[in-house]
Amino acid sequence: MIISIASGKGGTGKTSVAVALALSLTEPVQLLDCDVEAPNAHIFLKPEWEKQETVYGEIPRVEESRCTYCRDCSDLCQFKAILVLGKTILTFPEMCHSCGGCFLVCKPKALVTDKKELGVIEEGRSGSIHFIHGRLKVGEPLSPPLIREVKKRMNKERWVILDAPPGTSCPVIQTVKGSDYTILVTEPTPFGLFDLKLAVSALEELRIPHGVILNRADVGTRETRDYLTSKGIPLLMEIPFDRRIAEGYARGQSLIAVLPEWKAAFQRLADTLRARPNG
Amino acid sequence: MKPIKQLCVLSGKGGTGKTSLVGALAAVVPDKVLVDCDVDAPDLHLLFKPTIKTRQAFLGGKKAAILPELCTECGRCREVCRFDAISEDYRVDITACEGCGVCVRFCPFGAVAFSPTVCGEWFISETRFGPLVHAQLGAGQENSGLLVSLIRGKALELAEAKGHPLILVDGPPGIGCPVISSLTGSDGALIVTEPTLSGLHDLKRILDLTGHFRIPAVVLVNKADLNPETADAIEGFCLEKEIGWAGRLPYDPVVTEAMVQGRTVPELSPEGLGAEIPKIWKIVEEKLFNR
């Protein structure tokens, strides 16, 4: 079962929910932090690291002696990663999406494969949780290829929890795609609601069943609840604003460590997810 | 005319209060153009209820589409696609298609169409605090970086036309493509963080990024009283690394209240939290613009 945790708006509690759910499950679980730009789940799980791997993307390097400056490569490249100006050819690795097209069109075989670092993937264990996260290399704009690499390490026989980045664009889509269910975590404020609606429309497009956890459920307004009712989206859980939770979070302590009584609520949530027809 | 300064407000971690701070700055700083570069989850307009003056479609990258009447199911497209975007029954998964055009180029039968898709919209609006350039990326769409560059370009044109010396950019969370597009070419970055280990962790990532692009940054800790020790640690970290310190703001429910009312903090609490905002602006000007 693959459960992704997403939100639209940032800072609503995705990681807190992902970690709390993982800590509440009785069976073995994988937690994959797919927020490779700003990964935080490890702060709460403090895993014992077992493996670190650097991940690369394939990019072209020009063998100028063979290049005829025919521009087939630069004409094909949609990402402006290759530029041919007269008898000069330049490549821009940070623009490259590693589609491999330039190698295929180059008749004189003047392009050879080189690599650029996308980031690192680290794996470790925290109790019965198998933890994996990616850390995007600073300055690398594209996170989806690294997220894809993180997700290749999924063990679909188990519970897999995917902690998504905020927003609704390609890194989020890359994370939640293929999930059996997405839990959207939001707060009942105007910003939270606006971004929730965007996240919901993305999930509708992907046809991923979803429900909502309201965090800091006692701030803001009723509007979010009214929206959920009108859309028929299940409200899975409400977590009130509690200074103890906020302070624990600040220190890197999970919700379950601070208030163990919440474990039962997350176990009930897991039961609900298990009982789903396709679950 | 003074050269136009661009300030980009960033955070690394989401939900630290970037947008509320940009809204608050908008209320106290004169003569500027506002830009909301968090194009996939844009919230700044919610504080202003702006009047939209210009509304345009955003054409993003191209996407492949297989034309069944020409397709012979030879399999060449599936071979060359690196993104597993073409299914066994020869349909393009639009969410997987990277828009690279390789299948288009190598289909022996010209059976793959390749046209730009509308990926979102962008707007120029009028607010009670000046013009706002903002956008909305379609749900699940790509090319957020391109849309960010586009609206920043529009903001610059607008600032030049109106003679405004400042562009105030509300940036997206993270350190990836739309953040880089929001940051490059800025004169300075105001980083809003929170006193949590996550906030500090992501602060270091975003400072590495501003350092990578050699853009000066100052750091502000929001909701500082929720955890004064970590706020101290962040201040110490900035001191040690010689990163500008913009100060602290306390946690204040007035921030949520302002959001609910569609107003900004200085409008709602001019004597309280709102009184802190001009002080922050003064520091930003001194440390980032008058160097």
pLDDT of residue A279: 46
Tell me where in chain A the CATH 3.40.50.300 domain(s) lie: 2-48+118-274
Tell me the pLDDT tens digit for each residue of B192-234: 999 999 999 999 999 999 999 999 999 999 999 999 999 999 9
Q: Does B233 touch chain A (CB under 8 A)?
A: no
With an 8 Å Cβ cutoff, are B140 and A206 in contact?
yes
Q: CB atoms < 10 A from the CB of B161, how many? A: 10
Q: What is the four-CA torsion angle of B38, B39, B44, B49, rounded to 10 degrees?
A: 180
User: CA B152, B153, B158: angle at the middle one, nearest 5?
Assistant: 95
Q: CB atoms < 10 A from the CB of B118, how many? A: 11
The encoded tokens of residue A216 equal: 């800091």
pLDDT of residue A96: 96
Give residues with Cβ within 8 angstroms of B191, minimum separation 6: B9, B10, B11, B12, B203, B206, B207, B210, B217, B218, B219, B220
Report the residue of A33, A45, A143, A169 to disrupt the B interface, i.e. the one with the largest count of B CBs within 10 Å. A169
Tell me the pLDDT tens digit for each residue of A15-71: 999 999 999 999 999 999 999 999 999 999 999 999 999 999 999 999 999 999 999
Segment 251-270 of chain A within 8 Å of chain B by CB? 251-252
Residues of chain A positioned with their CB less than 8 A from the CB of B226? 243, 246-247, 250
Is domain A2-48+118-274 classified as CATH 3.40.50.300? yes
For the whole prediction, is pTM greater than 0.90? yes
In this predicted structure, the answer to whether residue A277 has a pLDDT above a threshold of 80 is no
Tell me the pLDDT tens digit for each residue of B8-67: 999 999 999 999 999 999 999 999 999 999 999 999 999 999 999 999 999 988 999 999
Q: CB atoms < 10 A from the CB of B10, how many? A: 30
Taking the domain A64-111, which CATH number applies? 3.30.70.20
Residue of A219, A108, A236 whose CA lies nearest to A183: A236
Provide the pLDDT confidence category of residue B1 given band limits of 50, 70 and 90.
low
**Contact assessment for residue B189 and residue B10, using Cβ atoms and an 8 Å cutoff:** yes
Q: CB atoms < 10 A from the CB of A217, how many? A: 18
Q: Report phi then psi at B104, rounded to 5.
A: -65, -45
ipTM over 0.90 threshold: yes
In this predicted structure, the answer to whether residue A230 has a pLDDT above a threshold of 80 is yes
With an 8 Å Cβ cutoff, are B61 and A78 in contact?
yes
Alpha carbons within 13 A on the beta-carbon side of B54: 14
In this predicted structure, the answer to whether residue B138 has a pLDDT above a threshold of 60 is yes
With an 8 Å Cβ cutoff, are A191 and B177 in contact?
no
Length of chain A: 279
Residues of chain B positioned with their CB less than 8 A from the CB of A195? 41, 43
Segment 2-61 of chain A within 8 Å of chain B by CB? 8-12, 15, 35, 37-38, 40, 43
Distance from CA of A242 to the nearest CA of B (A): 11
Residues of chain B positioned with their CB less than 8 A from the CB of A172? 40, 140
Give the percent of chain B with pLDDT over 70. 99
Tell me where in chain A the CATH 3.30.70.20 domain(s) lie: 64-111
The encoded tokens of residue A201 equal: 């429309």
Structural domains of chain B, with CATH:
5-48+128-289 (3.40.50.300), 61-118 (3.30.70.20)
Residues of chain A positioned with their CB less than 8 A from the CB of B176? 37, 136, 140-143, 171
Beta strands in chain A (DSSP E): 2-6, 29-33, 48-62, 82-85, 88-91, 111-126, 129-136, 159-163, 181-186, 210-215, 235-239
Segment 102-131 of chain A within 8 Å of chain B by CB? 104-105
Q: Does A272 touch chain B (CB under 8 A)?
A: no
With an 8 Å Cβ cutoff, are A11 and B13 in contact?
yes
- H/E stretch holding B221 reads strand B217-221
Instruction: Please give the Cα distance from B38 to B48 (Å, whole number).
Output: 16
With an 8 Å Cβ cutoff, are A143 and B177 in contact?
yes
Instruction: Please give the Cα distance from B192 to B38 (Å, whole number).
Output: 15
Amino acid at the residue B251: Y
Report the residue of B9, B10, B13 to disrupt the A interface, i.e. the one with the largest count of A CBs within 10 Å. B13
Chains A, B: CB contacts within 8 A come to 191
Segment 134-173 of chain B within 8 Å of chain A by CB? 137, 139-142, 144-145, 172-173
Give residues with Cβ within 8 angstroms of B139, minimum separation 6: A168, A198, A199, A201, A202, A205
Amino acid at the residue B80: V
Instruction: Please give the Cα distance from A65 to A56 (Å, whole number).
Output: 26
